[in-house]
Structure 1
Amino acid sequence: MSDSHTSVPRWPALPPTLRDLLGKIEAETEDDLRHPRPWDLASLPDELHASVWGWLAQAVAWINECYAWQPETVIPPCWREHPHLALELAVLAFGREIAHRSSGTQEPAQWHQDLHDFHSRMAAALGAIGLQECQRGIHGERPARYELERYAS
């Protein structure tokens, strides 16, 4: 007889530094926000960089393994090279961690909606062809590079 529980792999455990940090963040008050937010990759302190990015890679692999059923829901392996994906994935991964610490089902249910919304934004941002190419290891230049260069000048 097969074990029915084997189809759902375990969510990756947070490294101790991140687990401790989340505990400190949860204990903060709105008047005293002193700890860095590990989901804010744009403001990530150097001492958290390796643990956040390493854990985030595991979380993305887990999301793909559990939720990527259709091709358009596969997060491409080059997600780190897409700032818009990396920033959203950090919020999504830490959001799941926090949602599943709650005592009810409302927060995890909302996380599933957030995941659905992420997949929609990913497909829209990369475009159908860009998403397919990235998923197949053909990572091209940013389509808006010319417009961004013009804006910068």
Structure 2
Amino acid sequence: MTDQTPHDPAADETQPGDLPDDLDLDEDDYDDEYEPEDEDEEEAGPPHPVNWHLLRADPLEKEWYALNRWVETLRRTYGLPASVIPPFWHRHDELVWELSALHLHWLCAYHPEQDGSAPFGWHRDFADARARLREWVASSGTRLDRDRPTRQTTWPGEDPADPVEDVFVADRDQDFVKHVAAQVAERRAKEDAFFAGADPETGEVRG
């Protein structure tokens, strides 16, 4: 018979000093992991309307990309065709304003402070919005792989409108980035002119 040393259960317990350096955790590590990145986000109220005419350059760029991400999710979630949301919606003000309003409505409907029936109301209004979007798309003439400016009606005394021609666009995302960059640059130039005391439209310094 072989002598055996009695087993000591305490010997199986891992002591704090036995942990590798990269696993020596502190209680603060657990708290930091679940803290929100921005405490102000939890205190933010319901979303507010976006007036695209009044946004400064930096907020304008932020709103453009936020709307683009949401529209991309919307069209994929509901399988929407180009006759409802075309690839080049960003080139048409009527589509931008309609989709921006629908986005705001969605944010409010799914806000934590909203009541439980609000999402149903959003879907009801979404059906009405789809009908309007179809109308805007049909009248604008934008298509899946090409676009053209929305046709304008010339009133008496106005200069004739420029000819409307289709433009083929090979890369939608690239076109969106260029469009937003141009919009932001134009808005920033007007801001700089305003703060410099110049006329935002002509660039001439006011007297």
What range describes the TM-score normalised by the shorter chain of this pair?
0.5 to 0.7
Q: TM-score, normalised by structure 2?
A: 0.48
1:150 maps to 155
2:69 matched to 1:58? yes
Give, in whole Å, the separation in 1 of the partners of 2:60 and 2:139. Answer: 31
Give percent identity, aligned residues only. 19
Q: Which has the larger radius of gyration?
A: 2
The match for 1:136 is 144
1:23 aligns with 2:31: no
Residues 53/129 of structure 1: CA separation in 2 closer, same or farther (3 Å cut): closer
Q: Determine which of 102, 126, 138 is the counterpart of 1:115.
A: 126
Shift >6 Å, 4+ stretches: none
Q: Which structure: greater helix fraction?
A: 1
Contact 2:95 2:133 in 1 (8 A): yes
SS in 2 for 1:50: helix
User: Cα gap change, 1:136/1:70 in structure 2, threshold over 3 Å: closer, same or farther?
Assistant: closer
Equivalent AA in structure 1 for residue 44 of structure 2? G
Does the aligned pair in 1 maintain the 2:139–2:150 contact within 8 Å?
no
Aligned amino acid, residue 23 of structure 1: A
Number of the residue aligned with 1:89: 99
- Number of equivalenced pairs: 118
Q: Are 1:127 and 2:134 matched, yes or no?
A: no
Structure 1: 5+ residue stretches without partners: 1-15, 28-36
Unaligned runs of at least 5 residues, structure 2? 1-37, 159-207
Superposition RMSD on alpha carbons, in Å?
Answer: 2.9
**TM-score (norm. length: structure 1):** 0.63
Is the Cα–Cα contact under 8 Å of residues 89 and 96 in structure 2 kept in the other structure?
Answer: yes
Look up the match of 2:87. Answer: 77
